[in-house]
Amino acid sequence: MPAEPRAPKSLADPDALAARRALLGAPHIAPIRALAARIATERGAPVPIPDPLDGGVGARMLLLLETPGPAVLRTGFVTRDSANGTAANLFRFLAEAGLGRADTLIWNAVPWLIHAAGALNRAPRRAEVSAAAPYLAPLLELLPRLAVIVLAGRFAGEAAPTLAALRPELPVVRIPHPSPTYVCTSPEVPARIRRGLSEAAEILGRTA
């Protein structure tokens, strides 16, 4: 397994990306890759797969973002190491909270790419969030060690009722979306992200 990146945006390096892709067959992400392939077939759109350096089916924290951005096709991964501002913020916030990669799985509330070719990034529509909800059950079934769920952003937050019905015993933490556009709106936004991720880290500490 390659060493963990020490700085954000590491997958901007073609060699680092090639090394990450060499891990695609890792058994801890194989069941989630299969789910991603199923969703891609059913929705007729690409679905990025989990980062092999993260916890996969062994994850204890599920971090739900909103939807893959158009640039995801460059790597094909849902990862904190992408060469964009949201991933860079996430990289730093997770590191500050002491949330290790082996404990985390990053996924999207709407896991497939919703953008037309060449289109700008946009938020998911409520109909898309509703269409994605049935895929949460098979995802949770693949995560037997899950101890906490973090919902990042308003649209990810709409998954809360479904998650509560599926796994009522799991604590759910809500944080703002870590996109640079939103993080820069007020000092309270990054503060709320830090508080939420610290809470998730405390939960993992109590359930270790």
| DSSP-derived secondary structure for 100-152 | -GGGEEEEESS-S--PPTTPPP-PPPHHHHHHHGGGHHHHHHT-TT--EEEEE
Domains of the chain: 10-206 (3.40.470.10)
**Alpha-carbon radius of gyration of the chain:** 16
Asked if 78 and 106 count as a contact pair (C-beta separation under 8 A), the reply is yes
Among 203, 202, 197, 201, smallest CA distance to 90 is for 197
> Which of the listed ranges 4-8, 60-64, 113-117 does the model predict with the highest average pLDDT?
60-64
The per-residue pLDDT for 69 is 83
Strands 49-50 and 104-108: unpaired
- What average pLDDT does the structure give for the chain? 94
* Residue type at position 56: G
The per-residue pLDDT for 2 is 73
* Residue type at position 168: P
Which run of H or of E encompasses 196? Answer: helix 188-206
Q: How far is CA 25 from the centre of its chain?
A: 19
* Residue type at position 173: V
SS3 161: helix
The per-residue pLDDT for 118 is 67
pTM above 0.85, yes or no: yes
70 — pLDDT class (breaks 50, 70, 90) = confident
Mean pLDDT, rounded, for 96-122: 89
Mean pLDDT, rounded, for 10-21: 96
Which residues, at least 6 apart from 137, have a Cβ–Cβ distance to it below 8 Å?
Answer: 166
